[in-house]
Structure 1
Amino acid sequence: MRLIRLASLRFVPLLLVLVAAQTALSQSIRFLEDKKLFVLQGGPVSYVFGINERNELQHVYWGGKVVRDADFQPVKSTREWSGLDLSQAYTPQEYAGWGAGLYTEPALKVTWPDGNRDLVLHYESHKIAGDTLSVLLKDISRPIYVELRYTVYPETGLIERQSRIENRGKTPFSIESAQSANWTLPDATGYRLRSLGGRWAGEDQLVETPVKMGMQVLESRRGGTSQQSNPWFALDQDGNTDQEHGDVFFGALGWSGNWRISVEETSMHQVRVTGGYNTFDFAYTLAPGASLETPAFYGGYTSGGIGDASRIMHRFERTKILPDGSGLKTRPVLYNSWEATEFKVDEAGQTALAEKAAAMGIERFVMDDGWFGKRNDDHAGLGDWNVNPAKFPNGLGSLIKKVNSLGMSFGLWVEPEMVNPDSDLYRKHPDWAMHFDGRPRTEGRHQLMLNLAREDVKEYTFHWLDQLVTNNKISFLKWDYNRNFTEPGWPEVPVDQQKKIWVQFTANYYEILDRLRKKHPGLEIESCASGGGRVDLGVLKRTDEVWPSDNTEAFDRLDIQRGFTYAYTPHIMMAWVTDVPNFNGRSVSLQYRFLVAMQGALAVGSNLNKSSDEDLAESKRFVAAYKEIRETVQNGALYRLTPAADTNFIANEYAAEDGKQVAAFAFLHSQQRGYGVSPLHLSGLDEQAVYKIRVIKTPRRSPDGTVGALTDMGTLSGAYLTHHGLDLTLQGDYDSVLYVLEKVAN
């Protein structure tokens, strides 16, 4: 026995080495001292950069997980190509200052009072704390420091990057460009950029463009996130149309003000993505001892195609971005009174709508615009946030009590950042509206924008919101924002501080949301901005859901919702069923409208006062069917089963995380030449399992009351559903079907 024990002890050092090595590999962030390399690993992703011989931070690798440290060598700057193509221009720096012959997009550009604009950032030190790495850079001679923060999310492989620019000297300087990060992609040609663009009522159109030598810019100069372009990107190669295969690099900015993402291919065919504050009309004077923090810029990689990139973002948003764990809950079914009453709200009318909504199975009743001040149309009243006594002589309390007694929570529409010139607030404080002295004030929707960058305006806005929620049992605010910046002046502060309005406005907006949520922990908030004008990862840290578009026409919504889900989870996507004819003068069936809206967070916006008893009964059945699948739709995995280019036939599948339920939606725009639709092949199923299948497919009214109800259609195996698919019977124009699969056996 002694000999055996002695022999076994020989293996202890080797075991300790192996354990130490395994522990090192399990860490999300490591610094390889001998090679001066930082290795960041999360999930199936590795991200590596190092310190080169010039003491610059230099990118090394971003892609699939590489666990062997020996594979990575110390970094050396890129050699000079010619006297016109210097090393500094092509060395892939992690965070480049504008100086020393840099011709590519810098991450930081400054001007000192003496006219010096040269900025060369070198490595100073670093700290690792759990999943966060901080790297400190400093200019080679001046007291400007930049702290780079990298946070690794091991579950998804996403990396959050941010920078903080500090003035540790005694002289102010002006920042002209402050970016969050430079991302460097693997050297290759043939990259394709996917982004989301559009306009009011036409948001989230998927835009695909080849990346060529030069620069492509995604941006907003409107003061908010904007419908024109969204701060999300995805890059892959060779025009791949496969949703589930292929390398994809993707990312999103968390900022609700002016933003900019540039995608640049150098003459050496290096592709870099730089994002942060928009440089347009930007100047931020940094006083001694002061600092400026840039927005969070999130980046990810997958080899599983754009479909997996979307699912990674969805899971990340639900678990790491949405506040107070709201991404782990399910959204209630909501009714909004706008289309029924518009500005003609009163207690009796809202009560009647609430009773009809409750009978349908609605869980939250929201009263929209018109409840305050002299708000009888959109010409007056914004800014005067007192309850209109003629419409609500008992205040809001009586209505809220009635809504609660019907089993629903109560929500209210607000537009805190706006003011009508015809309002008591504007007459008292005309200087509170954005303006340039001596210049006209441009109105949009008959309103002006309050300068929320001002401390007094910020405090006023917080306090009336706080009092509104404190004095009334309000569970939900629909926070609207119906115009863009114009005349973004701030004449009350020194000239060198006035352009800070672009940053401070959004910072103060965030502060109000943060304070409001902290004081009222149960309060939920929707980000609405004339539709999808304020949807980004910054606002999502502070709100529970968003309004993708004012366009609720069901066929248009299919495309808008499909684009939206490339970047954002269906969990937050409010989707209304409204009356027809709608936005395009088009009429489609109630079933079609419900099945489109059931792919997100379902809501009803129809005028229930005009709905027939038959429609109300059908709606009740659709709401009940949605409640059976909403956990799967809102918190499951989304698979797009049809190509993005196909607008005639669109199909989406939602699979529950535990694999027990699947909801598959299919929509036919128009049948042509008598042809049917090919079988629908489902994804992510257990091929060894058997699934019970129920269906909503009743294109014509049925006297037996089955419209909107799920009916049984037997069982099929996962293998059959994957390889053969579901046989569809879609026909005619605007036909639709929902299949619900329940896993019953292996």
Structure 2
Amino acid sequence: MPAVTRTTCAGRPAWLVRTSCSAMLVSVADGGALVLDHWGGDGGALDGGLNGDSYLPHTPWNRPSQAHFLDGVPLAYSVHGDRAFKEPGLVVARQDGSSVSRLTLSEDHVEGDVLRLVFEDPGSGLLVEHRFAAAVEHGIVVRDVRVENRGAQPLRVERIASAVLGLPPARYQSWALTGRWGDEYQLTRRDLMPGKVVLDSRRGFTSHEANPWFALTEAGQDGPVWFGALAWSGNWSIVFETERNDALHVVAGINPFDSAWHLEPGESFRTPPLVCGYADDGLDGAARLMHRYQRDHVLPARHRGTPPPVHYNTWLATSFDVEVGHQVELATRAAELGVELFVVDDGWFGARRDDHAGLGDWVVDPVKFPGGLGELVDEVHRLGMKFGIWLEPEMVNPDSDLHRAHPDWVLHLPDRETTLSRNQLVLNFARDDVREGVVEQVRALLREHRIDFVKWDHNRPYTEVGWPQAPVERRREVWVRHVRGVYEVIARLRAEFPDLMIETCAGGGGRADLGILGVADLAQVSDNTDPSDRLRVQHGFSRAYAPRAMVGWVADAPEPTTGRTSPLEFRFHVAMQGVLGISGDILAWGDDERTRAAGLIAEYKRVRPTIQDGDQHWLVPPSDRGPCAVQYVSRDRDEVVVFVYQVRGVVGEGPRRLRLRGLDAGRRYRRSGDGAVTTGAALMAVGLPSAFPPPEPPGHTEDWRSRVEVWRAVGEESGAVRQEEV
């Protein structure tokens, strides 16, 4: 069946947008409002019921005079000027100060899997185009909005959401990823009551405190989930408004805080997309839809078919004390362990001795590298590894050659003192000369050296955000133009150096979203490398983002952030949930640690394709105490990888069973190691024990236990293999 079809609903013109597992039905009500008549399951049964009365419950009117209002009606977009009193998705002001728009449908276009609905406001010349793009096989609908000024006078866009989503009356719960530095991506649930709940960032970037992802469930229900994620790395806002009849109104897009966009006649503006979907199998099912979509459509295409490499990062071993001889020693040891990428972190450039100076001067320090950076780059390549380097191109220290030459390049206001954070300021990427200057510097570095990988960092929020060089009517565009400028710079560098891989980092996990992941291959999720904390961080991160984009680090013990100590295997098994990375002083590791680490890296490489490209299932979510387990199934269901953890064991607690998911029930699977064979049906119905054997040596703590089990499908020719109870 086609992804998009024209139809009617309750006598109104309507359009049905279908994916493999859901449907979105929109119609135009009297007065021009765009109604979301249905968003959820399909089952192929919607077509037959669309021509009768609307099946959506409407608000009972308090008195007949309110019958034409849209309160309580789920909308697909809300405009200031609609007959509604809920959060608007669009507010556009005219020269006379009026900001009321009255839109009427003028065109509809069905182009393959894409629906475009065009509305116009004759009074202002405003054109509004809604785009619904169905990623059919992934169960995803991507929405965005474009506005254009077709009138004779300028317009000011004061608010423009990427999408509005309305759900019919019910008791809803919202799920969000919240936290702080070192404790990012905590999955939090909130009962939605009458009124508004707002998630947002006003920090200039995605933020550690919240992430532009959400999920919605009905209270007490484990099944249906509605979800969305905004592809934007700047200020963002998601508003949940519960109406008086318990209908839910969701508005998601660029944060209108301190922001506006000037439209001269003939000019247009397009929002970042909102990626949204529906799953009937809970948060885990919603996450798998997002993972598949990101792997196939979001992450840069150049490296989608190549597994991200096991990498070593020097930060926790050297901090700013970078010296070529020591770096060569670290690289040699990393290669012996089986590392595939060696990354030199902060401290290699300019006058960089600490975080007070040098940022913005992307030239090699001749004291630390008297023979030039090429000496280390060549040695790393000779050792069989790729070479990576740390950059923070969006920032500058006042004590730098760049700032002394161009003090006006930073975000600033002429009559306000600028605030330092980490001793640095933010470059204004809204400016053409700033973007060109940064591209020129980074281009020179990449051309001179065979650099395969860049860790692109970002270590402070934005204050005193101003652009005094711009025309007055354009100055509040700086928040949006800056983010677009960052995307542009990275995209230009990727186009010129197509094999370059990029990791996004912002003080750890402060910038991971579908916008930055469109130009970066990987994301750092936290500066906190404590594995028990990371279980919760990675669980939350993976609700929204694919494991192949998630960087995990194995650090030294005790862990530098929390001071806790855990076994090497536990640290590795946690970091292996996505893209395996190692930091810390590996030169101080003993022979036994190095041998075990090399074995764990080799084990990870064997199962890496299933972890990074398979379907993820959290069997037992992490908690402060007790078991935790996460499973990965290859797309062809030939291989299953299960990580089992015990965090702070509970004395006297009996064993539990871990029932696997997503296997082929009729196939048999063999466990690597002991050769035990059982069926997919048994693994899903009976499962595996969560218990661990008694610790060795006697007296060793029950805390921090972990193991990995790998099951691979076997053919009929293996019938002679003994059947064992699992």
State the match for 2:688 in structure 1.
726
State the match for 2:2 in structure 1.
27
Which piece of structure 1 moves more, 450-459 or 623-632? 450-459
Residues in 1 aligned to 2:657 and 2:112: alpha-carbon distance in whole angstroms = 49
Q: Which residue of 234, 247, 254 maps to 2:215? A: 234
Query: Deviation of residue 464 (structure 1)?
Result: 1.1
Equivalence map 1:583-662=2 (5 Å)? 583-643=561-621, 647-662=625-640
Equivalence map 1:302-317=2 (5 Å)? 302-317=279-294
Q: Which residue of 431, 436, 441 maps to 2:408? A: 431
| 1:486 maps to 2:463 | yes
Matched AA of 2:707: V
Residues in 2 aligned to 1:452 and 1:715: alpha-carbon distance in whole angstroms = 58
State the match for 2:537 in structure 1.
560
State the match for 2:173 in structure 1.
192
Equivalence map 1:649-688=2 (5 Å)? 649-688=627-666
Matched AA of 1:495: V
Matched AA of 1:683: R
What SS does the aligned partner of 1:673 have? coil
State the match for 2:507 in structure 1.
530
Residues in 2 aligned to 1:85 and 1:406: alpha-carbon distance in whole angstroms = 75
State the match for 2:670 in structure 1.
692
1:541–1:75 distance in 2 versus 1, CA, 3 Å = farther
Query: Deviation of residue 84 (structure 1)?
Result: 6.1
State the match for 1:219 in structure 2.
200
What SS does the aligned partner of 2:660 have? coil
State the match for 1:204 in structure 2.
185
Contact 1:96/1:120 (<8 A) preserved? no
Which piece of structure 1 moves more, 124-133 or 415-424? 124-133
Residues in 2 aligned to 1:355 and 1:130: alpha-carbon distance in whole angstroms = 53
Contact 1:319/1:325 (<8 A) preserved? no
Which runs of no fewer than 5 residues in structure 2 stay unpaired?
695-701, 717-726
Equivalence map 1:328-347=2 (5 Å)? 328-347=305-324
1:261-314 Cα deviation digits (max 9, x unpaired): 111111122112111110111222222211111110111001111111010000
Residues in 1 aligned to 2:624 and 2:281: alpha-carbon distance in whole angstroms = 21
What SS does the aligned partner of 2:678 have? strand
Contact 2:33/2:82 (<8 A) preserved? no
Query: Deviation of residue 643 (structure 1)?
Result: 4.3
1:32-78 Cα deviation digits (max 9, x unpaired): 37852111111021111122333432221111123452311278796
State the match for 1:158 in structure 2.
140
Residues in 1 aligned to 2:658 and 2:47: alpha-carbon distance in whole angstroms = 45
Contact 1:49/1:59 (<8 A) preserved? yes
Residues in 2 aligned to 1:461 and 1:81: alpha-carbon distance in whole angstroms = 60
Residues in 2 aligned to 1:101 and 1:29: alpha-carbon distance in whole angstroms = 28
| 1:299 maps to 2:282 | no
Contact 1:37/1:74 (<8 A) preserved? no
1:542–1:75 distance in 2 versus 1, CA, 3 Å = farther
Equivalence map 1:94-105=2 (5 Å)? 94-105=76-87
Residues in 2 aligned to 1:509 and 1:425: alpha-carbon distance in whole angstroms = 18
Residues in 1 aligned to 2:78 and 2:122: alpha-carbon distance in whole angstroms = 13
State the match for 1:139 in structure 2.
121
1:256–1:74 distance in 2 versus 1, CA, 3 Å = farther
1:59–1:718 distance in 2 versus 1, CA, 3 Å = closer
Contact 2:72/2:244 (<8 A) preserved? no
Structural RMSD (CA) = 1.8
Which runs of no fewer than 5 residues in structure 1 stay unpaired?
1-25, 695-710
1:128–1:647 distance in 2 versus 1, CA, 3 Å = farther
Query: Deviation of residue 672 (structure 1)?
Result: 2.3
What SS does the aligned partner of 2:495 have? helix
1:695-734 Cα deviation digits (max 9, x unpaired): xxxxxxxxxxxxxxxx325223323322222234326111
Contact 1:36/1:74 (<8 A) preserved? no
Work out the number of aligned pairs and report it. Answer: 700
Matched AA of 1:28: A
Residues in 2 aligned to 1:690 and 1:58: alpha-carbon distance in whole angstroms = 49
Equivalence map 1:348-359=2 (5 Å)? 348-359=325-336
What SS does the aligned partner of 1:203 have? coil
State the match for 2:721 in structure 1.
none
State the match for 1:41 in structure 2.
18
Q: Which residue of 492, 496, 504 maps to 2:473? A: 496
Query: Deviation of residue 226 (structure 1)?
Result: 0.7
1:167–1:510 distance in 2 versus 1, CA, 3 Å = same
Contact 2:535/2:622 (<8 A) preserved? no
| 1:279 maps to 2:256 | yes
Query: Deviation of residue 102 (structure 1)?
Result: 2.5
| 1:183 maps to 2:182 | no
Matched AA of 1:365: F
Residues in 1 aligned to 2:368 and 2:67: alpha-carbon distance in whole angstroms = 71
| 1:259 maps to 2:236 | yes
State the match for 1:249 in structure 2.
226
Q: Which residue of 455, 470, 475 maps to 2:452? A: 475
Equivalence map 1:442-521=2 (5 Å)? 442-521=419-498
Contact 1:548/1:564 (<8 A) preserved? yes
| 1:122 maps to 2:104 | yes
Which piece of structure 1 moves more, 328-337 or 80-89? 80-89
1:399-430 Cα deviation digits (max 9, x unpaired): 11111111101111000010011111111111
| 1:743 maps to 2:710 | no
Residues in 1 aligned to 2:614 and 2:593: alpha-carbon distance in whole angstroms = 30
Matched AA of 1:125: E
Residues in 2 aligned to 1:279 and 1:529: alpha-carbon distance in whole angstroms = 23
What SS does the aligned partner of 2:355 have? coil
Percent identity between matched residues is 39
Matched AA of 1:631: P
Query: Deviation of residue 736 (structure 1)?
Result: 1.0
1:28–1:200 distance in 2 versus 1, CA, 3 Å = same
What SS does the aligned partner of 1:195 have? strand
Residues in 1 aligned to 2:344 and 2:266: alpha-carbon distance in whole angstroms = 47
Which piece of structure 1 moves more, 643-652 or 37-46? 643-652
Contact 2:551/2:580 (<8 A) preserved? yes
Contact 2:625/2:650 (<8 A) preserved? no
Contact 2:302/2:499 (<8 A) preserved? no
Query: Deviation of residue 514 (structure 1)?
Result: 1.2
Residues in 2 aligned to 1:319 and 1:726: alpha-carbon distance in whole angstroms = 32
Contact 2:7/2:50 (<8 A) preserved? no
Residues in 1 aligned to 2:623 and 2:353: alpha-carbon distance in whole angstroms = 44
State the match for 2:697 in structure 1.
none
Query: Deviation of residue 382 (structure 1)?
Result: 0.2
Residues in 1 aligned to 2:126 and 2:150: alpha-carbon distance in whole angstroms = 6
Contact 1:50/1:75 (<8 A) preserved? no
Contact 1:51/1:75 (<8 A) preserved? no
Residues in 2 aligned to 1:70 and 1:646: alpha-carbon distance in whole angstroms = 50
Contact 1:449/1:485 (<8 A) preserved? yes
Matched AA of 1:610: A
Contact 2:656/2:691 (<8 A) preserved? no
